[in-house]
Amino acid sequence: MQWETVIGLEVHVQLATRSKIFSGASTAFGAEPNTQACAVDLGLPGVLPVLNEQAVAMAVQFGLAVHADIAEVSVFDRKNYFYPDLPKGYQTSQMYHPIVGPGEVEITLEDGSTKHIRIHHAHLEEDAGKSLHEDFHGMTGIDLNRAGTPLLEIVSEPDMRSAKEAAAYLKAIHSIVTYLGISDGNMAEGSMRCDVNVSVRPKGQEAFGTRAEIKNVNSFRFVERAIAFEVERQIELIEDGGSVVQETRLFDPDRDETRSMRTKEEANDYRYFPCPDLLPVVLDQAYLDHLRSQLPELPADKRERFQNELGLSAYDANVISASRDMAEFFEAVHSECGDAKQAANWVQGELSGALNRESLSIANSPISARQLGELISRVLDDTINGKAAKEVFQALWNGQGESADEVIEAKGLKQVTDTGAIEAMIDQVIADSPAQVAQYRDSEPEKRGKMIGYFVGQVMKASRGTANPQQVNGLLKEKLDALL
């Protein structure tokens, strides 16, 4: 039987507000346990929440970016359950009237094709603290620094049909929230967390199969792996005559498997009701218009512009537009050198390689967009050849010089294009290589093309890499062929 996979994602995005969603405590990551939890975060008696307006603005920005309906009135509800890292015994969330209504996100697949994934809604809520189970001698430690950190939970429709689509969707969300600057998108620090709803159905069947919700899927790679495992598990189960039960499962990245956490019957009754301590959030058109006017160009628009106006391939446009930092770096390089294709090649090639090797983000690149653009310009105007360009790049990366020109000057990498000088070097090489010349002469004409490489190498060596290789090639061929 042919099976079809159906996937929906719930993505929790930690919003980059300075303070928590309902208190003035800092949201900075990595502080000593419980040093960033005030009376409100601790749920002490008598304290009250006050909504952080920055969190509201960020949620609205996201909604606008995914072309969603923004609720004129949204309401916070309490989700009641007991857990030690949930200080108040309820999580303040938005169950019935979320701030962001239906919208959609465009994803790009590896073959360059695009697909629209619908957003069901996105709502604001507070994060819980953390339970620490190690090093407490049979007890559990509670760190409430994270309690009250604002989250935007983005819930998709079950529109994805493969693990790849799910990963592409997660990347698209990542790219939108980082473009907007509403989250640092750091998955390793938990700034983006993902629950995956997976089901399978026979191909052609309209009704959805029973779904399992997989928790703790916290990297792009894990999303693909968790789905792959879960799909296989469900298909096997059904083909063996069993059936999928609705349940929550936990992804274990170490074992590469999902395990049952609780079934539907064991699920909590969260007793949602409107939080009486918070007023409904009422947004007017002027506020939305103001935020809309502040929106940056978004990844999908950039991708389209890079492709249509700058002539980049679909692949290049997609990769470069995925990160705002990379896109902006690319644009700065492009505006310096004027050649989009070259700019894209350098940013994705030499620069990305170097950044990856040293685990640096493009925002912390030791070489600036201006420097790289200049370097490319020097290649384009034949001041240096490709080999020298790599040397210049390395020198700039290492901080040996302020600009490409300075490095070229200091290292004497300026390309020799003077025909006389090159001819003199060629003559010398020919004179020094009688055996190779004889071999060249005695070879079949179609093999000579390959043999010329040796002479080019020698000339380049003699010029310490500064000769223009195309020129060397042409002149060598002329001179060698004259000897036939």
Partner 1 sequence: MHEKTLTQLAAALKSGEFSSRELTAHFLQRIDKADGKLNSFISVTAEQALRQAEVADNARAAGKTGPLAGIPLALKDIFCTQGLKTSCGSKMLDNFIAPYNATVVEKLNAAGTISLGKTNMDEFAMGSSNESSYYGPVKNPWDLTAVPGGSSGGSAAAVAAGLVPAAMGTDTGGSIRQPAAFCGITGLKPTYGRVSRFGIIAYASSLDQAGPLARSAEDCAHLLGVIAGHDGRDSTSVARGVPDYVEGLNAPLSGLKIGLPKEYFGDGLDPEVEKAVREAVKVYESLGATVREVSLPHTHYAIPAYYVIAPAEASSNLSRYDGVRFGHRCDNPSDLIDLYKRSREEGFGEEVKRRILIGTHTLSEGFFDAYYTKAQQVRRLIRQDFLDAFEDVDVLMGPASPTPAFDLGAKKDPVSMYLQDIYTIAVNLAGIPGISVPAGFVGGRPVGLQILGTHFAEAQLLNVAHQFQQATDWHLQRPAFAEEYA
Residues of this chain that interact with partner 1 (CB under 8 A) are 39, 42-51, 78, 80, 82, 84, 87-90, 140, 142, 269, 271-273, 276-279
**Helical H segments across 9-132, by residue range:** 39-42, 53-65
Please report, for residues 135, 338, 375, the alpha-carbon distance to residue 389 in angstroms, rounded to integers and kept in the order given.
Answer: 53, 17, 7
> Strands of 77-80's sheet, edge to edge?
90-93, 77-80, 273-274
CB of 44 to partner 1, least distance (A): 7
Return the number of the residue (99 or 472) whose C-beta is nearest partner 1: 99
State which H helix or E strand residue 9 sits in. Answer: strand 3-14
Please report, for residues 223, 383, 475, the alpha-carbon distance to residue 470 in angstroms, rounded to integers and kept in the order given.
Answer: 48, 13, 9
CB of 147 to partner 1, least distance (A): 11
Q: Return contacts of 237-242, CB within 8 angstroms, 24+ apart.
A: 238/200, 238/209, 239/1
Return the number of the residue (246 or 443) whose C-beta is nearest partner 1: 246
CB of 254 to partner 1, least distance (A): 25
Q: How far apart are CA 320 and CA 173, in angstroms?
A: 15
Return the number of the residue (78 or 171) whose C-beta is nearest partner 1: 78
> Tokens 């929790």, residue?
12
Give yes or no for a contact between 459 and 429, defined as CB atoms under 8 angstroms apart.
yes
Return the number of the residue (31 or 39) whose C-beta is nearest partner 1: 39
> Tokens 């907007």, residue?
180
CB of 101 to partner 1, least distance (A): 22
Question: Taking each helix axis from N to C terminus, what angle separates 324-337 and 369-380, rounded to the nearest 10 degrees?
Answer: 40
CB of 21 to partner 1, least distance (A): 13
What residues does 257 pair with on adjacent strands? 252
Return the number of the residue (82 or 111) whose C-beta is nearest partner 1: 82
Phi, psi for 39 (deg, rounded to 5): -55, -35
CB of 25 to partner 1, least distance (A): 14
Torsion of CA 321, 326, 329, 333, to 10 degrees: -70
Return the number of the residue (48 or 188) whose C-beta is nearest partner 1: 48
DSSP 242-288: --PPPEEEEEETTTTEEEEEEEGGG------EE-TTSPPEE--HHHH
Return the number of the residue (34 or 394) whose C-beta is nearest partner 1: 34
CB of 45 to partner 1, least distance (A): 4
Phi, psi for 244 (deg, rounded to 5): -75, 135
Phi, psi for 141 (deg, rounded to 5): -90, 150
Return the number of the residue (106 or 127) whose C-beta is nearest partner 1: 127
CB of 43 to partner 1, least distance (A): 4
CB of 125 to partner 1, least distance (A): 15
Return the number of the residue (3 or 272) whose C-beta is nearest partner 1: 272
Return the number of the residue (53 or 72) whose C-beta is nearest partner 1: 53
Structure tokens at 70: 């923004």
CB of 208 to partner 1, least distance (A): 22
CB of 89 to partner 1, least distance (A): 2
Please list, residue by residue across 140-172, b when 16 or more beta carbons sit within 10 angstroms of its beta carbon and e when fewer do: eebbbbbbbbbbbbbbbebbbebbbbbbbbbbb
What is residue 298's DSSP assignment?
P
Return the number of the residue (267 or 438) whose C-beta is nearest partner 1: 267
For the chain, how many helices (H) and strands (E)? Answer: 17, 15
Q: Is 379 left (phi over 0), alpha (psi -120 to 50) or beta?
A: alpha
Q: How many CB atoms lie within 10 A of CB 74?
A: 23
Return the number of the residue (84 or 449) whose C-beta is nearest partner 1: 84
CB of 38 to partner 1, least distance (A): 10
